Amino acid sequence: MRLLVGGLALTLLLPALTAEASATAVAPTVQAAVADPAAYVDPLIGSARDGNTWPGAVRPFGMISWSPTSTRGDQTSTGAANGYQYDTTRVRGFSLTHVNGAGCNPGAAGDVPIMPYVGQVDTSPTADTTDAKYASDFSHAQEVAKPGRYTVTLANGVKSDLAVTTRAGVGEFGFPTAGQANLLFRTSNSLNGSQDAEISIDAANRKVTGSVLTGAFCGRRANGGINNRKSYYRLYFTASFDQPVVATGTWKDSTITPGGTKTTGGEGYATGADRAGRGSGGFVSFAPGAKVRMRIGISYVSLAGAEQNLKTEVRPNATVNRIAAAGYKQWKNELQNVRITGGSETQRTTFYTALYHAMLQPNIFNDVDGRYLGSDQQVHRLAAGQRAQYGTFSGWDQYRAHIQLLALLKPEIAGDFAQSMYQFAQQNKGIWDRWLHNNGPTHVMTGDPAAPTLATFAAMGVRNFDAEGAYASLLKQATVQNEEAENDGGCPGQCTGQRPALNTYLAKHYAPQDACHCWGGAAETLENSLADFSLAQWGSRLGQPNAALTERGSWWKNTFDPAVGYQRARKSDGTWQPGFTPSTDVGFAQGSSATYTWMVPQDVSGLAAAMGGNAVQRLDGFFHDDAGNWAVKGGSALRYDPTNEPGLHTPWLYNGLGVAWKTQATTREIVDTVYGVGPAGLPGNDDLGTLSAWYVFAAIGLFPQTPGRAELLVGSPLFPKVELRRSNGVRLTVEAPETSDANQYVQSLSLNGKPQTESWLPESFITRGGRINVQLGAAPTGWGTAPNDY
User: Can you give the pLDDT at residue 27?
Assistant: 42
Q: Provide the pLDDT confidence category of residue 268 given band limits of 50, 70 and 90.
A: confident
CB 716 within 8 A of CB 746: yes
The pLDDT score that the predictor gives to residue 16 is 33
Please write the tens of the pLDDT for every residue from 63-79.
999 999 998 777 666 76
3 state DSSP class of 239: strand
Strands (E), 221-279: 233-241, 247-252, 255-258, 262-264
- DSSP code of residue 652: G
Residues with Cβ within 8 Å of 345's Cβ and at least 6 positions away in sequence, in order, are: 27, 30, 40
pLDDT of residue 491: 43
Q: Are 690 and 354 in contact (CB under 8 A)?
A: no
pLDDT exceeds cutoff 90 at 788: no
pTM value is: 0.94
In this structure, of 218-222, 309-313, 714-718, the range with the lowest mean pLDDT score is: 218-222
pLDDT at position 666 over 80? yes
What does the pLDDT read at residue 706?
96
pLDDT, residue 28, reads 43
| Band of residue 82 on the pLDDT scale cut at 50, 70, 90 | confident
The mean per-residue pLDDT over the stretch 477-485 comes to 81
Mean pLDDT within 724-747: 97
Close Cβ partners of 321 (under 8 Å, ≥ 6 residues apart): 163
Going by C-alpha positions, the residue among 115, 102, 211 that lies closest to residue 158 is 115
What 3-state class would DSSP assign to 657? helix
Query: Domains of the chain (ranges plus CATH)?
Result: 66-333 (2.70.98.10), 349-777 (3.30.2080.10)
Q: What is the percent of the chain with per-residue pLDDT over 90, rounded to a whole number? A: 81
Looking at residue 273, what is its pLDDT? 46
Q: Which residue has the higher pLDDT, 549 or 488?
A: 549
The pLDDT of residue 442 is 85
pLDDT at 1 over 80: no
Q: Tens digit of pLDDT for each residue in 122-169?
A: 999 998 888 899 999 999 999 999 999 999 999 999 999 999 999 999
Average pLDDT for the chain: 91
SS3 of residue 641 by DSSP? coil
230 band by pLDDT with thresholds 50, 70 and 90: low
d(CA 549, CA 451): 12
pLDDT band at 81 (very low <50, low <70, confident <90, very high): confident
User: Is pLDDT above 60 for 120?
Assistant: yes
Look at residue 498 in the predicted model and tell me its pLDDT.
75
pLDDT of residue 594: 97
Q: What dihedral angle (degrees, nearest 10) is formed by the CA atoms of 686, 405, 15, 625?
A: -80
Q: For residue 713, what are the β-bridge partners?
A: 703, 760
Span 748-769, average pLDDT:
97
pLDDT tens per residue across span 158-209: 999 999 999 999 999 999 999 999 999 999 999 888 889 999 999 999 999 9
Strand partners, 393: 436
Instruction: Convert the pLDDT of each residue in 696-709 to its tens digit.
Output: 999 999 999 999 99
Q: Quick check: 667 pLDDT over 80?
A: yes
* pLDDT at residue 753 tops 80: yes
Predicted pLDDT of residue 171: 98
Q: What is the pLDDT of residue 500?
A: 86
Q: What is the pLDDT of residue 14?
A: 29
In order of 95, 274, 407, 694, 710, the CA distances from 453 in angstroms are 31, 40, 10, 16, 12
Range with the poorest average pLDDT among 269-273, 343-347, 752-756: 269-273
Cα separation, 163 vs 160, in Å, equals: 10
Task: Tell me the C-alpha distance between 442 and 495, whole Å.
Answer: 9
Q: Spell 243-263 as b/e; 16+ CB within 10 A means b.
A: bebebbbbbbeeebeeebbeb
pLDDT band at 102 (very low <50, low <70, confident <90, very high): confident
Q: Indicate if the pLDDT at residue 629 is higher than 90.
A: no
Q: Are strands 291-299 and 560-561 parallel, antiparallel or unpaired?
A: unpaired
In the structure, what pLDDT confidence band is assigned to residue 391 with cuts at 50, 70 and 90? very high
Task: Give the per-residue pLDDT at 220.
Answer: 56
Note the pLDDT of residue 488: 42
Cis (ω within 30 of 0) for the bond into 125?
no
DSSP 639: S
Per-residue pLDDT at 325 exceeds 90 = yes
**DSSP label at 230?**
T
Query: What's the pLDDT tens digit per position in 421-456?
Result: 999 999 999 999 999 999 988 888 899 999 999 999
For the segment 400-404, the average pLDDT, to the nearest whole number, is 98
pLDDT value, residue 18: 36
621-646 burial: b if 16+ Cβ within 10 Å, else e: bbbbeeebebbbbbeebbbbbbbbbb
pLDDT at residue 218, rounded to an integer: 72
Amino acid at 226: I
**Single-letter residue type at 216:** A
In whole angstroms, how far apart are CA 26 and each of 37, 291, 580, 667? 21, 46, 44, 18
Closest by Cα among 153, 130, 239, 103 to 641? 103
Res 634 pLDDT > 80 = no
- Is 278 a residue whose pLDDT tops 80? yes
Mean pLDDT, residues 35-58 taken together: 95
DSSP codes joined into one string, 590-610: SS-HHHHTT--TT-HHHHHHH
DSSP element (H, E) containing 372:
strand 371-373
Nearby residues of 773 by Cβ (< 8 Å), 6 or more positions away: 735, 736, 749, 750
Report the C-alpha gap between 423 and 384 in whole angstroms: 12
pLDDT of residue 130: 85
